[in-house]
Amino acid sequence: MAVRVGPDDFDIGAEVKALTAGRTDIGAVVTFTGTVRGEGSGRPITAMELEHYPGMTEAELVRVEREACERWPLLASLVVHRVGPLRPGDNIVLVIAASAHRQAAFEAAEFMMDYLKTKAPFWKKEAVAGEAARWVDARDEDDAAAERWNRKASGPSR
Amino acid sequence: MGAAPRTVKLMYFAWVRERVGTASEEVVLPAGVTTVADLKAWLAARGTGYEAAFVKPGVIRAAIDRRHVQETASIEGAGEIAFFPPVTGG
């Protein structure tokens, strides 16, 4: 179980390899990678800046990961989130969930992303060609995605 | 009574930071400012930048000592209080 926040890019293959090295109890590894889209509201995005709240960001990600571990029988997990200047196509976020069986890994990875999106203190600022950079608005869909886990009777897969 | 002045560190992020004009500051809280909502109202009256930042106080989220809190949360004993827009990471 680990979280990492910083400007550096990540290598998905290397992260999975490190997380599962020497493990024979893991039977399912799910990874989610979020990347920078080159388009927003129909206009081309030239650059993105990710601001965060050092200290609280890591604490929130640890809380999200801990909650996932309480809900599903995870054997390993990792959350990596980049900050600072990014460009279209760049990696932003990586979530890995590993379990004995696939359903727990799938669900835990989705849960961690949904919770991260509404709880972890990150803010995106997009630069659109020929315009002043602007802060990205939060989406109601993200709140709804996180909220459904409160209603769902989640638990170990079968 | 004569309670000691309460000093707290305030932090601002994203467009709240840009409108206020600073990332962080130390303030002495006046008597009567006891909740997050009170603090927002007090800050909104501190000047043009603050007024612009807190014009719609309900939109702005708060954290006390790096944990999310609601409007009604007490700021008693807080060391660091942060104000920011809804988060947009991931």
Question: Which ipTM value was assigned to this complex?
Answer: 0.93
pLDDT in the model for residue A41:
75
- pLDDT surpassing 90 at residue B73: yes
**Residue B36 near residue B62 (C-beta atoms within 8 A):** yes
| pLDDT in the model for residue A79 | 98
Q: pLDDT at position A129, please?
A: 83
> Is residue B34 helix, strand or coil?
coil
Q: Which residues contact B74 (CB under 8 A, 6 or more apart)?
A: B34, B35
State the pLDDT confidence band at A61, using cuts at 50, 70 and 90: very high
Query: Which has the higher per-residue pLDDT, B1 or A118?
Result: A118
- Cα A57 to Cα A28, A80, B19: the distances in Å are 28, 11, 22
* CATH for B6-84, options being 3.40.1190.20, 3.40.50.300, 3.40.640.10, 3.10.20.30: 3.10.20.30
Give me the percent of chain A exceeding a pLDDT of 70: 96
Residue A94 in this model has a pLDDT that exceeds 50? yes
Which candidate, B87, B75, B81, B63, places its Cα nearest to that of B25? B81
Q: Is residue A158 part of a domain?
A: no
* Chain B CB within 8 Å of residue A82 CB: no
Please provide the distance, in angstroms rounded to a whole number, between the alpha carbons at the two ends of chain A. 23
What letter does residue A41 receive in the DSSP assignment? T
Which residue segment(s) compose the domain that A96 sits in? Answer: 2-136
Average pLDDT over residues A10-26: 98
Phi, psi of A129 (to 5 degrees): -50, 125
CATH number of the domain residue A73 falls in: 3.90.1170.40
A26 inside domain: yes
Q: Chain B partners of A137 at a C-beta cutoff of 8 Å?
A: 86, 88
- Residues B65 and B75: their CA atoms lie apart, in Å, by 10
Section B40-48 average pLDDT: 96
In DSSP terms, which residues pair with B62 in a beta bridge?
B69, B83
- Is residue A41 in some structural domain? yes
Q: Is the pLDDT of residue A153 over 60?
A: no
Q: Kindly state whether residue A91 falls inside one of the protein's structural domains.
A: yes
**pLDDT value of residue A158:** 41
Number of structural domains (chain A) is: 1
Classify residue A111: in a domain, yes or no: yes
Beta strands in chain B (DSSP E): 6-12, 24-29, 61-64, 67-69, 80-84
The arithmetic mean of pLDDT across residues B17-25, rounded, is 98
pLDDT higher than threshold 70 for residue A131: yes
Contact status of B66 with chain A (Cβ, < 8 Å): yes
Closest-CA distance of chain A to residue B47, Å: 23
Put simply, whether B58 touches A (Cβ < 8 Å) is no
Residue A157 in domain = no
Mean pLDDT of chain B: 95
A38-44 mean pLDDT: 86
| Mean pLDDT, rounded, for A17-38 | 97
Query: Is residue A54 classed as helix, strand or coil in its secondary structure?
Result: coil
In the predicted structure, residue A148 carries a pLDDT above the cut 70: yes
What is the mean predicted confidence (pLDDT) over B19-37? 96
Average confidence (pLDDT) over B17-39: 96
Structure tokens at B41: 């109202």
Domain membership flag for residue A148: no
